[in-house]
Amino acid sequence: MSFWVYCNSCFLSAAADRQLAVTTCGHVICSVCYQKGKQKNCLICSSQCQISPLSDKSSSEVKTLFSDINVVTTKHLTEISKVISFQSRHQRKLLTHYKKRNEKLEETFVKMKQEMQKMAKKLNEQSVYIAKMEKSLQHQSAMAPPVSQMSRASYSAHVQKPALQIPYNSPAPLLRHFPATNIPTLFPDCQLTSPPRMDEWAPSPADRPAKTCRASTAANPPQSVAFREPL
């Protein structure tokens, strides 16, 4: 029995005539003091309780309370070390898994960062190109006149431009390009007359006078060819 085990009433250790017991309320009392109090009542706290004598036949729970602390510590430390070893092994496996996963995520992050940089560069290039095109369009818009002015100018030009008039003149000027001596050789019997004026023009083809022209050759006799005035 350890030195610290004594009766909580008389503070005496166990002896041949004095046996110690433990109550359910957690007090230690000897057999002599127990008889001084009431039955089934604790002499220390006066609560109802039961007693269990301290001996080799005591329960394991009672023996554990009075066992050597070094033995209990060694036993429990061994169990604790087993538990710690088991848990730490599984924690290391889980940590290794998360490390590998983190490395893969870091690689993916680096790739995505590079892709983002490329996309940002392309976006900047497109922005510069769009700004240049907008500037060019603004310059062209500033150089070109408004549509309303263009339409008004084209309309005024169309209205003010006179229509092309071809005056009717005699075909005499056209004959300037041809010598007069060649005409009789082609049609020796034809007589050229100037066309009538517009106010003397016949109203219908039936009223137009026909002109005859005789063409003679060495092989054929002279024939009369009728010509009508052009419409």
- Please give the mean pLDDT across all residues of the chain: 75
Q: Is 212 a residue whose pLDDT tops 60?
A: no
Whole-number pLDDT of residue 200: 52
**What is the per-residue pLDDT across 81-115, written as a single tens digit (0 to 9) for each?**
999 999 999 999 999 999 999 999 999 999 999 99
- Are the C-beta atoms of 187 and 213 separated by less than 8 Å? yes
Please report which confidence band the pLDDT of residue 127 belongs to, taking 50, 70 and 90 as the band edges. very high
pLDDT tens for residues 51-63? Answer: 888 888 888 888 8
Tokens of 161: 């431009």
The model's pTM: 0.35
Q: Give per-residue pLDDT as tens, 65-82.
A: 888 888 888 988 999 999
For the stretch 163-197, pLDDT in tens is: 545 554 544 444 444 444 444 444 555 555 555 55
- Pair 195, 171: CB distance under 8 Å: yes
Residue 117, pLDDT score = 94
Task: Write out the CATH class of domain 1-67.
Answer: alpha beta
Of residues 164, 168, 166, the one with CA closest to residue 199: 168
Answer for the pair 183, 198: CB distance below 8 angstroms, yes or no.
Answer: no
- For 42, 45, 71, 158, 174, the CA distances from 51, given in Å and listed in that order, are 9, 14, 26, 131, 158
Highest mean pLDDT (candidates 1-5, 159-163, 179-183, 214-218): 1-5
Looking at residue 48, the DSSP 8-state letter turns out to be: B
Count how many Cα atoms sit within 13 Å of the Cα of residue 182 in the half-sphere of its side chain: 5
* Residue 112 DSSP one-character state: H
Q: Residue 9: count other Cβ atoms within 10 Å of its Cβ.
A: 18
- Ramachandran assignment for 179, one of left (phi > 0), alpha (psi -120 to 50 degrees), beta (any other): beta
Residue 162 or 49, more confident? 49
DSSP 23: E
